[in-house]
Amino acid sequence: MKPSKKSKLTFQAPKGMSDILPKDQIWWERILEVGREVSSLYDFSLIETPLLESAGLFEASLGESSDVVEKQMFVFESKGGQRLALRPEATVSICRAYLEHHLGYYAHPLKVFYYGPMFRYEQPQAGRWRQFHQWGFEILADNHSVYDAQIILAIHRFFNLLKIKDINFRINTIGCRVCRPNYRKKLLEYYRPLKKELCEDCQRRLENNPFRLLDCKNENCRALRSSAPVILNHLCQNCNNHLQEVLGFIEDNNLPYVSDPYLVRGLDYYNRTVFEMEVPELKTTLAAGGRYDYLMEVIGGQNLSGVGGAIGIERIIEVMKQQEINPDVKTRPRAFFIAVGNQAEKSGLVSVENMRRAGIVVSESLGKKSLKAQLKAANKKKASLVLILGQKEVFEETIIIRDMASGVQETVLLSKLIEEVKKRLH
């Protein structure tokens, strides 16, 4: 008799962290396939950094007033007493690796891509997870505006190959060490008399990081923002020239964009170019990034420039499903081996292994005893050919090959199995 209520499992995935199940792998495989294709086209090399870093690395670089440092980092103390953090993003780790391993000797500029999980402790909701995956591109040690454009074009190519529609690309500049202090002063002059009208977060951020007020989603704060000073009116000549060069490269490549003077990023290390790509109708930001010319200096290295962008994998999958974009993953034709009877099972495993050594993709369900159950498993696998070995076939040293599309089947010598399967699958 079945229980009336579903019993609660003893262990489940932690809140905000999910399993990637076999049925979802087709989406992940397609995205990884496209990521590798774009990385190859744009000459990016793979880099992998640890999931754990010193907590101080992120605290020094992301900004003490950033949401990531204030609220979202998973921080703990190791048995040796070291404060460690699960990485909340990858750019800082890559810059640390660049300095630690002297990667400037490998290439100049260094162009790398990465893929993997990031961790942020925030309230789980649509498009936001405590463990989430990103694909990113970084170009290190060159401040030329062409590399800002190249990062943007690579990400846009990523979306084009996935056939994602209605991408809204917004771009801005947030200045540099020369012009930003004056703009910060203008923001403080504007917002201080309005402090009581701001939300609680913006009141707290006002003195430490007034730029974040421009990024607030609170409706009242957004209304106040409409009359705030615009950074484009306070840029130094170098930042203005850099912005115009980036926009020129983008226009030359016929990439539509929206100039958003209030766009900022939530991390302190950004300067000059910042951008976001989103699907406005779905209120989903798919990618974001920008330039970070001071980051390596902040974490103890030389003053070396960088620019990069990250793409949210879970968000892409969500949008592809909503836009009804089916992953176009190329799969090799597959054979399915069926063994009926104890003797067939014993000799069948040898045949299966021989086919795999010959490069044939073959599935099986040898633990199932009945022919019907194994045929059902073959259908679920969408096998092109089914290979049936029974007691009679073992005795005669033959095997039945059934074409699943036509239903036609033929008995062939077991010694000719690999040759016959290759001929039919190709």
Cβ contact 89:61 at 8 Å: no
Task: Please give the annotated binding residues for L-histidine, written as ranges.
Answer: 89-91, 120, 134, 138, 265, 269-270
Residues in CB range of 201: below 8 A, 6 or more apart: 216, 218
Cβ contact 397:344 at 8 Å: no
Over the Cα atoms of the chain, what is R_g?
28
- Residue 149 CA to residue 316 CA, distance in Å, equals 22
Alpha-carbon separation of residue 64 from 4, 119, 168, 268 (angstroms): 51, 18, 30, 9
Task: Please give the annotated binding residues, written as ranges.
Answer: 89-91, 120, 134, 138, 265, 269-270
> ω into residue 14 within 30 of 0, thus cis?
no
Sign of torsion over alpha carbons 362, 366, 367, 372 = positive
